[in-house]
């Protein structure tokens, strides 16, 4: 599913690629026996442990002190990702050089959910996500090789003069533990494949692959076709005390010093 945006005043409200969306306590030894990347990064100091909860999953951390900069593959666009938690809700903020996008998340013991409100523009009409079954980012115990989960959005909307209803269902499977290298460094990560199936007037499908590192989140993403969001890679990963510069363009592909697993 492609990215959807709703324009509200000076900001674009980002609707996740109905995934991209895209993520407690210690990581189970069966998942990462050596914890090499985590130990080198020092990602779980007392501050992170205090924040660890169902609202701050290990594989999609929403710690407000963390900052991530991504490069959108196939071009020069970059953005800075941060989170602002408030109770059991979280605002994800993406700052591009020319705009700001926001996603509102809610959290529970099962994981993180997002259900955008209102009609969203699509070519030739509008669509509304009326119901979400399941969670977008599940709780930590699911994150192991062989693990998986599903979620489903119910859709309704209009194209031209036709009233339509439909659905989007996403099946996520964690296939392997791998070492992945990106400009931000080298990370031990779980490789996840998301398969998209749906119907809205006509059937549609697609696939995307994500690499999630514990304590970091998405370090790489490859999307096929119009579903799954943009393909991207992690440029920089720091805490707010080591402030990242505002996003700039163009991105020339230079290597950014990052964190490695040793």
pLDDT in tens, 232-245: 999 999 987 654 54
Q: Per residue in 136-193, pLDDT tens? A: 999 999 999 999 999 999 999 999 899 999 999 999 999 999 999 999 999 999 999 9
* Mean per-residue pLDDT, 90-101: 96
Instruction: Return d(Cα 132, Cα 108) in angstroms, integer.
Output: 14
- CA dihedral over 82, 68, 232, 195, signed as positive or negative: negative
Query: Which domains are present in the chain?
Result: 4-242 (2.40.360)
| Average pLDDT estimate for 210-216 | 97
The predicted model scores a pTM of: 0.74
Tell me which residue of 252, 253, 182 sits closest to 219, measured CA to CA. 182
Residue 246: which residues within 8 A CB-CB, separation 6 or more?
80, 95, 97
Q: Which residue has the higher pLDDT, 23 or 69?
A: 69
Which of 12-26, 94-108, 146-160, 231-245 shows the lowest mean pLDDT across its residues? 12-26
Question: Which of 97-111, 178-192, 207-221, 222-236 has the least mean pLDDT?
Answer: 222-236
| DSSP state, residue 207 | E
Q: Alpha helix (H) ranges present in the chain?
A: 36-41, 46-51
Helices and strands per DSSP (H, E), number in the chain: 2, 16
Rounded Cα distance, 172 and 213, in Å: 16
């Amino acid at each position: 599913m492609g990215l959807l945006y709703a324009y509200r005043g000076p900001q674009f409200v980002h609707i996740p690629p109905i995934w991209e969306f895209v993520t407690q306590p210690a990581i189970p030894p069966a998942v990462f026996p050596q914890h090499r990347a985590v130990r080198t990064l020092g990602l779980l100091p007392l501050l992170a442990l205090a924040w660890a909860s169902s609202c701050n999953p290990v594989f999609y951390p929403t710690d407000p002190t963390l900052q991530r900069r991504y490069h959108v593959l196939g071009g020069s666009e970059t953005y800075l990702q941060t989170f602002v938690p408030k109770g059991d809700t979280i605002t994800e903020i993406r700052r591009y050089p020319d705009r700001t996008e926001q996603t509102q998340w809610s959290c529970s013991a099962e994981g993180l959910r997002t259900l955008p409100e209102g009609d969203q523009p699509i070519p030739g009409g509008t669509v509304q996500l009326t119901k979400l079954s399941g969670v977008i980012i599940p709780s930590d115990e699911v994150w192991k090789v062989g693990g998986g989960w599903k979620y489903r959005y119910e859709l309704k909307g209009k194209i031209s003069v036709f009233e339509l209803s439909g659905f989007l269902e996403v099946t996520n499977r964690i296939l392997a533990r791998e070492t992945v290298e990106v400009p931000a460094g080298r990370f031990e990560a779980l490789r996840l494949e998301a398969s998209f199936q749906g119907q809205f007037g006509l059937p549609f499908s697609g696939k995307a692959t994500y690499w999630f590192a514990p304590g970091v989140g998405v370090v790489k993403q490859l999307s096929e076709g119009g579903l799954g969001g943009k393909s991207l890679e992690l440029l920089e990963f720091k805490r707010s005390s080591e402030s990242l510069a505002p996003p700039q363009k163009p991105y020339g592909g230079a290597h950014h010093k990052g964190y490695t697993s040793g």
